[in-house]
Amino acid sequence: MKLLFDFFPIILFFGAFKLYGIYMATAVAIGATILQVTFTWIRYRKVEMMHWITLILIVVMGGLTLYLQDEQFIKLKPSIINWLFGIAFLGSQFWGKRPFVERMMASNIELPQPVWKRLNLAWSFYFIVLGFVNLYVINNFDTDTWVNFKLFGMLGLTFIFIIIQALYLSKYMPKDEKES
């Protein structure tokens, strides 16, 4: 359910784009993200940092897209978000007691510290590369292809990356966890 909630603005963006075009889709995404953050705040009195960053970027980049009638701004948003996450993950290698990946996953899995660091670097690299892949798609394909890539391509690439990560982590799992 959380995954669906996290993808709520993206799904609405995609639907609005298919029906009404990029500018209406941008307005819908701004509204949906504001609604998402507001609902989260009212319900839990806490909003994840990822949602705050997304809200700020969608309002700024989406606002520029609508105000200037230039779709390039909304297309750049995924690259900026991915680069910010990539830099944050990379920075967590050097600042703080634990890398971000360890902070997020340590309650579910126990790994040696060097593995946490490698995993964190892998996520950092993944986010940075995904930002550049988005730029490639923006500059080499039409808007319809970019929207499909944003929803299906980025999700598919993330799914593949997670499978690769799971295969890598499987060798660190205790035998009894592997069998179940």
Condensed to tens digits (0 to 9), the pLDDT of residues 7-31 reads 889 999 999 999 999 999 999 999 9
Give the per-residue pLDDT at 67. Answer: 98
Q: Compute the mean pLDDT over every residue in the chain, rounded to the nearest whole number.
A: 92
What is the pLDDT confidence band of residue 105, given thresholds at 50, 70 and 90?
Answer: confident
Domains of the chain by residue range: 1-70, 71-180
pTM assigned to the model: 0.86
The total of other beta-carbon atoms located within 10 Å of residue 42's CB is 8
Whether the per-residue pLDDT at 73 is higher than 90: the answer is yes
Give the per-residue pLDDT at 109. Answer: 82
Give the per-residue pLDDT at 111. Answer: 87
The average pLDDT across 75-101 equals: 93
Whether the per-residue pLDDT at 152 is higher than 90: the answer is yes
Q: What are phi and psi of 98, to 5 degrees?
A: -135, 145
Q: What are phi and psi of 149, to 5 degrees?
A: -65, -45
In 1-122, DSSP assigns E strands to none
Query: How far from 148 is each of 25, 118, 135, 168, 179, CA to CA, in Å?
Result: 13, 31, 14, 29, 38
What is the pLDDT confidence band of residue 179, given thresholds at 50, 70 and 90?
Answer: low
The average pLDDT across 64-72 equals: 97
| CA angle at 31 for the pair 25 and 152, rounded to the nearest 5° | 45
**For the chain, what is the radius of gyration of the CA atoms?**
18
Give the per-residue pLDDT at 138. Answer: 98
Give the per-residue pLDDT at 80. Answer: 96
Query: How far from 128 is each of 21, 71, 84, 89, 161, CA to CA, in Å?
Result: 28, 22, 8, 10, 13
Whether the per-residue pLDDT at 180 is higher than 60: the answer is no
